[in-house]
Structure 1
Amino acid sequence: MLEPNIIKDDDLEMLLLDVSRLYGYDFTQYSKASLKRRVNRICMIDKFSSFAELRYKLLNHPDYLLRFVEEITVNVTEMFRDPIFFKTLRERIFPQLGTYPFIRIWLAGCSTGEEVYSMAILLKEANLYHKSLIYATDINPGVLAKARTGMFPLHQMKQYSENYILAGGKEDFSSYYTANYDMAKFNTDLTNKMIFSTHNLVSDSSFNEFQLIVCRNVLIYFDKDLQNNVFSLFDDSLDNLGFLALGAKETLRFSNIERKYQQVDTEKIWRKIV
């Protein structure tokens, strides 16, 4: 089914300014083409026949904002997504992080938390979890609430187990969770070093100094200026010789901080050298 084209460019600009002014969520520097597709999709799903209907709902029903934010932010994720990336963390990055007395890791744009639990499992197996702290942040409080539960659909575990093995996992993946009807509940000993919190990459500032920052497949939805602003935020937040991990289609090349970083693994992992 073709999605409707209810929202025009001028409508989108007006709507984003409304949301920023009323609620403090600034999406004005996100990719307009991507946002326009998602807002039109909301109109189709929630049966708005005009831009005016959607705008009225957002302006007069603050409880609808959570749904709006959840729909226009991308929450596609899975455990050990891109297994080679996690294998590189396991084999090349964690041995270097292990030399620190304490390890702080920031997962920015963590969505529903699959990547957070993947990181915790990796740290456990590297015997680093006891001296680590994982800060998991997202702009969307709805997905953070799901992430805190540590519960994921049971039918996804077969795929996640395959990803885990490709990422170098040697244990029985099912030992990390218990089946609870149609959900898998991950063990609580994976969660005691996790801190979940809302954080807006557009407007919020640095809140700690980290040895590893992971932000994968988020920046592709930002325009160039906003990408540079976020890179500066990560640079301010990263310890010297710390690592920054990006998505497969994201890069520090031609960014405002490129000269301060050295590639560790193709385009995905960079180390701060200045």
Structure 2
Amino acid sequence: MNRWLTFIVLFWLLAGCAEAPQPPLRVGVNPWVGYDPLVLAGERRLFDPTRVRVVELSSNTESQRALRNGLLDGAALTLDEVLRLADAGLELKIIAVLDVSHGADAVLAREGIRAPADLEGQTIALEQTALGTLVLDRLLRAGNLSRDDVHLIHVEAAQHGSVLASGRADAVITFEPMKSWLAARNFQVIFDSRAMPGEIVDVLVARADVLEPRLPDWVELLVGWERARRALLADESAADSLAPGVELTPEEYRA
């Protein structure tokens, strides 16, 4: 009996010493075509879901908030947003460049507004992020305007379509897939990121305190991302699966 008791005690002691499995890395993304390879990788299990989980959020603002609060281990963000978070004291490491915007970030406006200069006295909706501020600055320069010449309202990305369609704003600073959604409804593109080449860069970041201890898991994520990126280029069914999530037809998505 004593030997059995000793065996049971030793078994539980050894079990208690075993390292507990770590939860999957939590990586935040918001609706943006440049981040969709990460979404596709999660859907197709191109990385191990016990090691990496992609968390879909409604906006960059939400991603940044979750990073600051420790609810995410990493996120897809624009480079200027990463720099602002770093200035605020959050230590992040860039582990990949995801894309460079060449027309996908844009300003769309109602009928009658054909150029940036036509925005004088009008209401512009934007998400108050580093990206929104950057595009606003370049837009106003293009129209030879100042902030005093326009009215600004803060609207998170998920409401960009409704704020323009409802008439609450005369123009909106947005990005794909919302750009295509609005263009299909006859709103006019009056400015886009082709006028600011190389300025909008999307990157994948990791919290510095989570990077080195979980390095194999980050590698797992990057390998899955690359596989998904290639699949999007080669496999039409990939666009078919992603388009409904951003309220586009597969044809609009591929465009």
The question of a shared fold, defined as TM-score above 0.5 by the shorter chain, is answered with no
When normalised by structure 1's length, the TM-score is: 0.29
**Which of the two has higher C-alpha Rg?**
2
Return the structure number with greater relative CO, CA threshold 8 A, min gap 6: 2
